[in-house]
Amino acid sequence: MIQDSVLGPHQEILTARATDKKILDKSQDGGIVTALLVYALEKNIIDGTVVAGPGKEPWKPEPMVATTKKDILKSAGTKYTMCPNVALIKEATRGYGLEKIGTVGTPCQVMGIRKMQTYPLGARHVTDKIALVLGIYCMENFPYDSLKTFIQDKAGTTPDKVTKMDISKGKLFIRTADDETAIPIKQTHGYEQSGCQYCLDYVAELSDVSCGSVGAKPGWSTIIKRTDKGASLIDSAIEDGVLEVTETNEGKFGLEMLRKLSKNKKTQRQKNIDKKLDMGLQIPFTHSKFKEDILENR
């Protein structure tokens, strides 16, 4: 295990994408999360999963229990707004009767799941049924109203016309069938949910496997293998041809970029944390003056 305060503890980093065309057509980048969940389901590693499924309004996902490939595919692709997946985990073990749950979440959701596993208050006979925790990279997340503001006021369209949203190269792209609007990320500041201002985790450091587009060329994803469980899942998925691997770019637009973004998030947010703590406010993070390594996520 490599102890790394920037990218979190991990075993190996690689660049890959799904081989299934159906998955790639629907997915955000390399389709890793969708492919891994489908693969884990087929291999009986999980018997179902809690995903961000389509909600009542376009681009407003709602937590959904998926037990088939078809249902998992419905949830493919990134929606840049909050979806309380962790809230459905308990019910997944109850009314849905799942015993090996696959979960996927942003870093804060992964932290929530791990905290629940450590202190299972109100989660009796729940946490022993969490079989897999996939993490996705996240700089910040937007409430649905913020997303609507971007779509309506900045892109001048309506949510139902949007075909894809994507954050890359410092911009938020909003695409419709015949148009594309790019909003510089700087202009989205102030619209993110307030908790994100104090989050030190960019790459879901507590997950079994983390993945995201940063550090990989378009259409591919960077995968961080963390736990043994996560590593063996990736290895067998590659062996069975579910994922294909390409050379990892260690350079400026590759892993260096990933490290840079993670480091930036941590240093910038630590300042916000310090500021609040200095004001005497209670937030569940440690002041930098008490940390040996200020990049540490705690």
Q: Contact positions toward another protein, by CB under 8 A?
A: 67, 90-91, 93-98, 122, 124-125
Task: Name the minimum Å distance from CB 95 to another protein.
Answer: 4
Sheet arrangement for strand 62-66: 62-66, 48-53, 101-105, 130-136, 209-212, 221-225, 12-18, 243-246
In this structure, what DSSP letter does residue 69 have? H
Task: Name the minimum Å distance from CB 65 to another protein.
Answer: 8
Task: Name the minimum Å distance from CB 68 to another protein.
Answer: 11
**Cβ nearer to another protein, comparing 3 with 44:** 44
Residues 6+ apart with CB under 8 A from 210: 8, 134, 135, 136, 137, 203, 204, 223, 224, 226
Task: Name the minimum Å distance from CB 100 to another protein.
Answer: 13
Please state the separation of Cα 152 from the chain's center in Å.
25
92, two tokens = 């997944």
Residues 6+ apart with CB under 8 A from 177: 161, 163
**Cβ nearer to another protein, comparing 67 with 288:** 67
**Cβ nearer to another protein, comparing 125 with 275:** 125
Cα three-residue angle 47-83-138, rounded to 5 degrees: 95
**Cβ nearer to another protein, comparing 88 with 242:** 88
**Cβ nearer to another protein, comparing 92 with 196:** 92
Task: Name the minimum Å distance from CB 89 to another protein.
Answer: 13
- Quick check: helix, strand or coil at residue 298? coil
Backbone angles phi, psi at 20, to 5 degrees: -70, 120
* Helices of type H across 131-217: 144-149, 185-188
Task: Name the minimum Å distance from CB 88 to another protein.
Answer: 11
Task: Name the minimum Å distance from CB 165 to another protein.
Answer: 32
75, two tokens = 């949830």
Task: Name the minimum Å distance from CB 44 to another protein.
Answer: 15
**Cβ nearer to another protein, comparing 51 with 98:** 98
**Cβ nearer to another protein, comparing 4 with 91:** 91
CA terminus-to-terminus distance, the chain: 19
In this structure, what DSSP letter does residue 195 have? G
E strand residue ranges, the chain:
12-18, 48-53, 62-66, 101-105, 130-136, 162-168, 171-176, 180-184, 209-212, 221-225, 243-246
**Cβ nearer to another protein, comparing 95 with 170:** 95
